Amino acid sequence: MLRYVREDTRYLLYIYDLMKRKLLSSSTDPNCPEASLVEVYQHSYDLCMQLYQKEILTENSYLNIYGLYDADLNGQQLGIFAQMPVTTGKLRHLLKSRHPYIERNLGSFVGIFKHSMQNGAAFVPVAKKIVEDDYLTRMKIVKEIHEHN
């Protein structure tokens, strides 16, 4: 674990140095070559100083968390979803322990899972696009690193 942290930190420091050099070399003002760098620092500072506002949780907040706000679920299914554990790990634990709550509501759980699987296909193109964009961005960074070495 320590090896990973050291390597990751070195990589982050390398990216920081690379970006700093690019900002200093790309300055348009010959009188102030660090203007671009100062601008980035200022934007970073402004972002860090923004007041964090925690989401106000209501009795229906779980619908937003699970992405079910527009789902067409009946009252029983919504009631079960409101009481569901947040993580899938906890859900697996409940299923393995044969908890009475799960056994009593198994039919509704199956309905929820079927419904989510049917709607899951709509997310596939979006997920593919995100993965492709992330891959292309990473490859661009790797290419830039190799060009500078």
At 3-39, the pLDDT tens digits run 766 677 777 888 888 888 888 888 777 788 788 888 8
pLDDT number for residue 68: 62
pLDDT number for residue 123: 66
pLDDT at 65 over 60: no
At 124-143, the pLDDT tens digits run 676 677 778 777 888 888 78
pLDDT number for residue 10: 77
Beta carbons within 10 angstroms of residue 133's beta carbon: 10
Question: What CA–CA distance (Å, rounded) separates 16 from 145?
Answer: 12
Question: What CA–CA distance (Å, rounded) separates 138 from 132?
Answer: 10
Beta carbons within 10 angstroms of residue 16's beta carbon: 10
Question: What CA–CA distance (Å, rounded) separates 10 from 48?
Answer: 23
- CA end-to-end distance (rounded Å), the chain: 27
